[in-house]
């Protein structure tokens, strides 16, 4: 399997080269040139496998320069039972009205980012070996909360890597901050920025493009790499859980082979829902992919306004912060495929986005997108109402991001009358967004955020995830705060790790 950039498909690279680089030299995103198809034999084989086996099986179709043995070993380590609390890595919970909650948050940091970031360190270090890269990979991460902790947890004490995370000093929840600042490991550094998430992200981009910095790191035997969802190594593992969940539905007799399902995903950077789109291209029988957004509904407008993407609008801070984003990077990959891999068309659209903050997709390309997708959005008040209703009527507790998807799906069902069974991606533990969840179900907040875990347990009878409960009394290791202008100077901290 070969990979090309969305903006220039003339140069083909291996999966290992795509994963090691993270992003293509022309600024485009690496994409597989074809989609492997799932055969009857694949379905038979996967029916007998656990999650680890299925994940290795799906990865093997895309990462053809990795051996089956390597991938099985990586999946066994990444999805080890003790890391996910049980052997059911991604449980599927059936609720009323044909809703199936795909719980992707049983990993060590309690958000779905673990599903990819537990295996990415294995894929990345193996990729470096395969391309004979001997320098230490320095992974820089800008985060609004979930990615930072998941990347720290995945990469801490991994040989041949160092990881540095930048978060906005006042832009993450107290729980997310504590998760990051108490991170253990000899190769990790966490820095708070005086500024917002966009400042943190632009600062990291500045480091990536600063040739002097890169040369200095090279002299010290270091190179830069990325752990966000522009890296193909983060997307590929996400395809596996949609296929695996369909296997679960088959094995339980919920559906027959070939029956169609919908998949509804709470969306920010468009990575998680793009993985479902790729699963569909492989032959997973998906009727509609439903894209759910919060009040930052730039994607809802894109799908409803015939492919007009316009980020020139107010940015809102919502109760689902991991979806507060106006530039959904992975939409670029969808445009690449929907245009029949027209790299120059994609490059032109991305140029427009950079210059004018908006672009219009051609009618024939948009027609290909419209056939696969539906979209909707939901504000904070409706998010709260959805958490409350789901808890009171079905005794199912969900976090704010998941609630956005549940609400958008329910609206979709009423609007279209479509009763196809629908998988809803449940992306974070409700305990990770305690405050909003407690307020939604009518509890009283306490001052300290770790104590909120007990409040939610008392209200619901549900146990808090062990990794969050373990934060109680942990002392922060990292307290450095820098002005956004001084970020470049923090790169020297990598030398001391």
Ligand X SMILES: *Cc1c(COP(=O)(O)O)cnc(C)c1O
Of 108, 154, 268, 307, the one binding ligand X by CB under 6 A: 268
Q: How far is the CB of 268 from ligand X (least distance, A)?
A: 3
Part in contact with ligand X (CB under 6 A); list of ranges 31-39, 126-134, 162-170, 266-274 = 266-274
Residue 305 burial (CB count, 10 A): 12
Q: How far is the CB of 148 from ligand X (least distance, A)?
A: 10
Q: How far is the CB of 330 from ligand X (least distance, A)?
A: 7
Euclidean distance between CA atoms 5 and 240, whole angstroms: 23
**Would you tell me the crossing angle of helices 232-252 and 120-130 to the nearest 10 degrees?**
130
* CA dihedral of 463, 267, 25, 155, whole degrees rounded to 10: 0
From 52, 99, 113, 432, active-site residue? 113
Using CB under 6 A as the binding criterion, the count of chain residues that bind ligand X stands at 16
Residue 325 in tokens: 């984003």
Residues paired with 376 in a beta bridge: 292
352 has catalytic annotation: no
* Alpha helices per DSSP H over 189-342: 197-209, 211-219, 232-252, 271-281, 298-304, 331-338
Q: Counting contacts by CB under 6 A, is residue 106 touching ligand X?
A: no
Euclidean distance between CA atoms 168 and 311, whole angstroms: 21
146 versus 248: smaller Cβ distance to ligand X: 146
Write out the DSSP string of 406-450: HHHHHHHHHHH-----EEEEE-B-GGGGHHHHHHHTT----SSHH
Smallest Cα–Cα separation from 227: which of 141, 162, 329, 113?
141
Smallest Cα–Cα separation from 39: which of 72, 61, 71, 59?
61
Q: How far is the CB of 401 from ligand X (least distance, A)?
A: 4
Of 46, 249, 428, 491, the one binding ligand X by CB under 6 A: 428
Of 267, 294, 300, 319, the one binding ligand X by CB under 6 A: 267
Q: Counting contacts by CB under 6 A, is residue 322 touching ligand X?
A: yes
Q: How far is the CB of 111 from ligand X (least distance, A)?
A: 4
Of 342-401, binders to ligand X (CB under 6 A) are 401
Part in contact with ligand X (CB under 6 A); list of ranges 56-64, 166-174, 197-205, 262-270 = 262-270
Euclidean distance between CA atoms 269 and 275, whole angstroms: 12
* CA dihedral of 202, 208, 211, 213, whole degrees rounded to 10: 90
Euclidean distance between CA atoms 400 and 13, whole angstroms: 39
Residue 467 burial (CB count, 10 A): 20
Q: Counting contacts by CB under 6 A, is residue 302 touching ligand X?
A: no
At 282, phi and psi to the nearest 5? -80, -10
Part in contact with ligand X (CB under 6 A); list of ranges 117-125, 163-171, 186-194, 270-278 = 270-278
Of 193-252, binders to ligand X (CB under 6 A) are 229
Part in contact with ligand X (CB under 6 A); list of ranges 162-170, 260-268, 294-302, 359-367 = 260-268
Of 143, 244, 318, 427, the one binding ligand X by CB under 6 A: 427
Residue 438 in tokens: 């407690």
Q: Counting contacts by CB under 6 A, is residue 146 touching ligand X?
A: yes
195 versus 268: smaller Cβ distance to ligand X: 268
Q: How far is the CB of 43 from ligand X (least distance, A)?
A: 26
Q: How far is the CB of 274 from ligand X (least distance, A)?
A: 8
Q: Counting contacts by CB under 6 A, is residue 303 touching ligand X?
A: no
16 versus 278: smaller Cβ distance to ligand X: 278
217 versus 369: smaller Cβ distance to ligand X: 369
Euclidean distance between CA atoms 46 and 408, whole angstroms: 31
The pattern of x and - marking residues 107 through 126 that bind ligand X according to CB under 6 A reads ----x-x-------------
Catalytically annotated residues = 113
Residue ranges that bind ligand X, judged by CB under 6 A: 111, 113, 146, 229, 266-272, 322-323, 401, 427-428
């Amino acid at each position: 399997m070969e990979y090309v950039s969305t903006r220039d498909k003339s140069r083909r690279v291996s999966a290992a080269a795509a994963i090691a680089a993270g992003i293509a030299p022309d600024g485009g995103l690496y994409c597989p040139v074809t989609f492997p198809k799932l055969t009857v034999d694949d379905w038979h084989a996967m029916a007998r496998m656990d999650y680890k086996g299925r994940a290795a099986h799906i990865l093997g179709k895309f990462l053809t320069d990795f051996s089956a043995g390597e991938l099985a070993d990586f999946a066994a380590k990444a999805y080890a039972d003790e890391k996910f609390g049980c052997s059911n890595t991604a449980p599927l919970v059936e609720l009323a009205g044909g809703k199936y909650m795909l719980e992707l948050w049983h990993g060590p940091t309690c958000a779905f980012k673990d599903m990819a970031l537990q295996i990415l360190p294995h894929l990345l270090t193996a990729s470096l070996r395969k391309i004979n890269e001997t320098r230490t990979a320095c992974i820089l991460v800008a985060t609004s909360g979930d990615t930072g902790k998941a990347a720290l947890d995945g990469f801490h004490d991994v040989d041949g890597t160092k990881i540095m995370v930048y978060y906005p000093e006042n832009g993450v929840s107290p729980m997310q901050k504590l998760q990051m600042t108490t991170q253990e490991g000899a190769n990790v550094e966490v820095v708070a920025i005086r500024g917002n998430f966009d400042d943190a992200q632009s600062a990291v981009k500045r480091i990536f493009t600063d040739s002097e910095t890169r040369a200095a790191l090279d002299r010290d035997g270091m190179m830069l790499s990325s752990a966000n969802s522009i890296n193909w190594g983060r997307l590929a593992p996400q395809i596996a859980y949609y296929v695996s969940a369909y296997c679960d539905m088959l094995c339980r007799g919920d559906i027959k082979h070939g029956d169609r399902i919908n998949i509804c995903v709470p969306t920010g950077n468009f990575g998680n829902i793009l993985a479902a789109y790729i699963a569909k291209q492989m032959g997973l029988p998906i009727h509609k992919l439903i894209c759910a957004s919060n009040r930052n509904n730039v994607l809802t407008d894109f799908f409803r306004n015939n492919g007009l993407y316009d980020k020139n609008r107010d940015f809102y801070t919502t109760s689902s912060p991991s979806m507060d984003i106006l530039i959904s990077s992975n939409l670029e990959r969808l445009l690449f495929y929907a245009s029949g891999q027209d790299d120059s068309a994609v490059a032109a659209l991305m140029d427009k986005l950079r210059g004018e903050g908006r672009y219009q997709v051609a009618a024939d390309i948009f027609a290909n997108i419209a056939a696969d997708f539906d979209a909707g959005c939901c504000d904070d008040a409706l998010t709260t109402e959805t958490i409350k209703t789901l808890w009171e009527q079905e005794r199912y507790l969900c976090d704010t991001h998941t609630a956005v998807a549940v609400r958008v799906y329910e609206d979709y069902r009423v609007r279209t009358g479509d009763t196809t069974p629908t998988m809803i991606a449940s992306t974070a533990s409700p305990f990770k967004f305690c405050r909003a969840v407690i307020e939604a179900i009518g509890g009283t907040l306490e001052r300290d955020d770790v104590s909120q875990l007990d409040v939610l347990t008392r209200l619901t009878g549900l146990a808090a995830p062990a990794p969050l409960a373990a934060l109680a009394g942990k002392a922060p290791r990292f307290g450095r705060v820098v002005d956004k202008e001084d970020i470049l100077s923090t790169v020297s901290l990598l030398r001391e790790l």
